[in-house]
Structure 1
């Protein structure tokens, strides 16, 4: 946790050391430039003007004020002003890179004032050149500092957007996993529960029926495990963990109906139209919706006559699951906390389909789903008949 804050501090320490070293080297040229050599006071002021750069990232404005105050004292004592000019320029650039433009402009005025003050004390440089430098250098430094600040803000904004996208992707993936696991577990566990209850009820009076129910529990459990393994392999999205077999689809609808019928729910299957291969996503979506609808029928209308109607249209496929029983429990996900109806709606929306759920006029419950099978058209209406 402590390594993060130390990195910019270490970098600023290196910058401050290099800046001080350059200033010391320039100070050796003072006599060659017809300026007094540095004495102990001069070297002390040189250090005080350059070493504060170690804190420039944490307190850029304070460092800028200290640097220019020391530089003004340095100039007043008659030393060569150029020795500490680099410290002043770095301070202005840092303020422009880390603080608002207005603050940088005020600090630039301070730099220009010290620059003009140094030129006035020198008397050997033309004031026109001094004024041009006092105006030009701060403008250039502010420009590049402002560009750096905008680039840093853009990088931070992009990083935040990437984090948000990553969080959304994680949430979507969690939802996808939850839907798949719900579809697999809820259906099979409902069938297992019914069969286990039947076996317990007739265990003493009809051992043959009990054994058959337990055998059905074993078979359904094995199928659930296989399907869960297949779902988990798909969710991993790894080439090395590709599913050993195809994901379930409408071609396995008859097996599902047989399994539910064997569990005690009278279910019939009707298929209209010419069966044909469907896009994998559409095929799996239709299968899962029928699976969830049958699971709800087993849980909320046990023993009710249930009909599954599958129809292949020219550019769409439609399924309907209808039962004639009275619902034992409310099928409102907002009250019960269930995710079945929500999952069905999300799947239908994902593939451009329409879905409706609700009571039938003559009694019972109906789930109707229509999914387009081509990109040309998305049919309206449920496309099913009772």
Structure 2
């Protein structure tokens, strides 16, 4: 029991010896300059009022010499300015000055007057408690409160004939002020931590969304690349039978090509197994392209959105990656129209100039309350997925609201994507 009491006493002593925060001004991180200056203004006004009042009270009411009264008044009030940045150090100065002042007011002149704490001491001390409670930890506040009560109780025991109970009044009021200020500080700290946690969570959510969309794109592109690799394997395997008179070196070269293609296909299947191990399913279906955008527009019309399609793709071959990306961009944009702008007139244009494939979706302002999503198979990641698909093909994406309340999505996808000779020329 005594050991526990000593440990608690040591803890309280350590609490009043070291501050729990850096020497930064109160409200120093406030966005407005007026709020940052407010603590200094309050402390300055308190000192300007309490300093002369304390001098007058000590000299006329308690008959202290002017020099002693002035010294005590300065020590008891001016540390309030220090308390804006270093409240615990200011408390040490004020507490020592208050105790010294109480010990000095033990003459006959004090009879019938507030003792050990005069009114000015109580007011200044409570202001200090408010500044202290807004900065220091709970242990420090408890230690300061107990020290205040112990000092008053000691004076009560030593000179009970002079005491009028002001020590108990200060003890109670200091506890109330410390409790209120400490609760306000802890509430502010909790809000600050919640804000920081929400920011971290939002960053992690955006990062997870990006990674999920990239994994989805990788799963879809597997089928595109696998098709080309399969064609290479079949052509390399059948070349010795389709072409007469091949030398042995050429036959061996075709065999090496076929073996390398088969090995690449096996590696891709293993990669696909990893990408599809998240429980999203691994069904193998033909990947959609520009030719299926007409079905998207028809589904949009059935969902209550008046949509029009302008499709103009030339005879040139559209790379499968571009074909798939164009479809997914149109799918996500139309799904967003149904979700966020139901009933809005929408125009979809897919144009090819031989160099780029342009996908343009423009909708007007919503005409009715929101309904359900267009397709449950959509990515659900909106502009993040569009940006990743455009980046994959080396294209450009332009999105943003329109003056009339509508929205615009424009993607330009090069038909000669990155990595090809035309694309890198």
**TM band (smaller chain):** 0.3 to 0.5
TM, length-normalised to structure 2: 0.42
